[in-house]
Amino acid sequence: MGWVSLSLLWLAVAAPPDSLPADTLAPRPPRVLEAARFHLQDTPNDAGHSVTLRWTYPPGLQDSVRAVIVLRAEAPDVPMQEVKFIPGAPTVYKDMGIPSRTPFYYRVLFLTVTGDTIQSAVLGPVEAYPQWFHTGRIPILLGVVLYVGLLLWFIVQARGGKELFLRKIPGLEAVDEAIGRATEMGRPILYVPGLSTIDDIATIASLNILSHVTRKAAEYETPIIVPNRNPVVYTVSREIVKEAYTSVGRPDLFDPDQVFYVTDSQFGYAAAVSGIMMRDRPATNFLIGMFWAESLILAETGAATGAIQIAGTDAVTQLPFFIVACDYTLIGEELYAASAYLSREPLLMATLKGQDWMKFILGTALVLGSLLGLFGITWVHHFFAGG
């Protein structure tokens, strides 16, 4: 049989020659492991294209197994095909990519260092079924339900007119001042909405802030320049700027040329925006959204022009660059809080309270999980691990 010759070849190649007895190459009659050691089931929480095979070894066998071969057939009495050769002594195999609702039979062969072949009985039948609910994601669902519930609770509270306290965020407090500075100096404002695509939530948060900044700039009749790297972000930001001018009653001030597409190239974009900073000398630079390696190029060029700079990103690796090169930096969640903070709209502010409470709950769970973990109680860890 093909699998025997393959396994012997593997043993000859993988095992050190001096570690094998002289009779290694002589096939021996296979022993059969009892079916109770094997558990064959439809893989849970998938689209119905895999089954999972688990097994346990008799005492002492696992150390001597050098490889495992999994065979499969669509009937118990037809020759089986090898589907996987696994070096080592695993205890689980997931057979992926099989058709749904089709019965399959399996056999597992264990090749030992001594040249023995131990096999399972024919296992099965088993069929792969698609599932309608991912039970491994129940912890995530519970967390989302709890969090959304908290958000809705505070929104209802805000609708009732309850006053909510928000701590000061220096970067957002400085937005009006930064726009005013540009107005006083008679120079434009540069707004960079990050380099990511529209499906990045940081980009959406940035576009929300762009709306506020543009409305304020329109009130002060200060030009705003919005260079874009992504075509979809360009079309959205253009509409946002246009709508913002209209919403403050100054549609005449909107210049279609102030929101434009630059390039899809990361460093091409960095070069173009650096050029705008050096030539047009904006008095205020907003670098808000998702950034990668170009963050410091933009921030340092802006700092060299003497512009007041407000940056914001949720990219943890880029935050240090913004912190050292910009006047104000919105760190992580502050980026998402900006829209609520700037608008002071009670419904938006209410969600910030929900965020704070959820952070408290998660922090408590982390401390509790860590303390319980010290005493060997790990259910908190397993609950959050999900699936």
Partner 1 sequence: MAARTIPLAIVFFFGVLMTVQFYIPHPVSQRLYEMVLDWMNGVSAAAIILAVGSLVKHHWRKISRRENVVYSGVTLLAFFFMAFLGLFVSIAEDSLFQTLFANVQVPLQATMFSLLAFYMASAAYRAFRARNLEATLLLLAAFVLMIGIIPIGYLIHPKFADFAQWVLNVPNMAAKRGIMIGVGLGAIATSVKIILGIERNWLGG
Q: Is 50 in the site for partner 1 (CB under 8 A)?
A: no
Tokens matching residue 313: 């990103």
Task: Return d(Cα 169, Cα 267) in angstroms, integer.
Answer: 31
Stretch that binds partner 1, among 7-15, 79-87, 109-117, 351-359 (CB under 8 A): 351-359
Of 193-212, binders to partner 1 (CB under 8 A) are 199, 201-202, 204-205, 207-209, 211-212
Shorter beta-carbon distance to partner 1: residue 17 or 186: 186
Among 1, 32, 92, 141, binds partner 1 (CB under 8 A): 141
Stretch that binds partner 1, among 14-22, 57-65, 78-86, 143-151 (CB under 8 A): 143-151
Q: Is 321 in the site for partner 1 (CB under 8 A)?
A: yes
Strands 104-112 and 81-87: unpaired
> What phi and psi values does residue 167 have, to the nearest 5 degrees?
-70, 155
CB 117 within 8 A of CB 13: no
Of 159-178, binders to partner 1 (CB under 8 A) are none
Stretch that binds partner 1, among 12-20, 22-30, 126-134, 175-183 (CB under 8 A): 126-134
Q: Is 131 in the site for partner 1 (CB under 8 A)?
A: yes
Of 361-380, binders to partner 1 (CB under 8 A) are 362
- For helices 266-280 and 295-304, what crossing angle results, to 10°? 10
Among 23, 177, 184, 239, binds partner 1 (CB under 8 A): 239
Show the DSSP H helices in the chain as ranges: 2-14, 138-159, 170-185, 201-219, 231-247, 266-280, 295-304, 319-325, 333-343, 346-374, 379-385
CB 326 within 8 A of CB 308: no
Nearest CA-CA partner of 230 in 256, 204, 253:
204
Q: Is 293 in the site for partner 1 (CB under 8 A)?
A: yes
SS3 of residue 306 by DSSP: coil
Other C-beta atoms lying within 10 Å of the C-beta of residue 49: 15
Q: Is 147 in the site for partner 1 (CB under 8 A)?
A: yes
Q: Is 249 in the site for partner 1 (CB under 8 A)?
A: no
Shorter beta-carbon distance to partner 1: residue 111 or 337: 337
Shorter beta-carbon distance to partner 1: residue 70 or 241: 241
CB 284 within 8 A of CB 307: yes
SS3 of residue 119 by DSSP: strand
Among 37, 54, 84, 134, binds partner 1 (CB under 8 A): 134
Closest approach of Cβ 326 to partner 1, in Å? 10
Q: Is 347 in the site for partner 1 (CB under 8 A)?
A: yes
125: cis peptide before it, omega within 30°?
A: yes
Which whole-number Å values give the CA distances from 224 to 45, 85, 165, in the listed order?
A: 50, 62, 32
SS3 of residue 321 by DSSP: helix
Q: Is 102 in the site for partner 1 (CB under 8 A)?
A: no
Q: Is 48 in the site for partner 1 (CB under 8 A)?
A: yes
Stretch that binds partner 1, among 59-67, 86-94, 188-196, 266-274 (CB under 8 A): 266-274
Stretch that binds partner 1, among 23-31, 120-128, 183-191, 292-300 (CB under 8 A): 292-300
Stretch that binds partner 1, among 30-38, 84-92, 110-118, 262-270 (CB under 8 A): 262-270
Q: Is 331 in the site for partner 1 (CB under 8 A)?
A: yes
SS3 of residue 68 by DSSP: strand
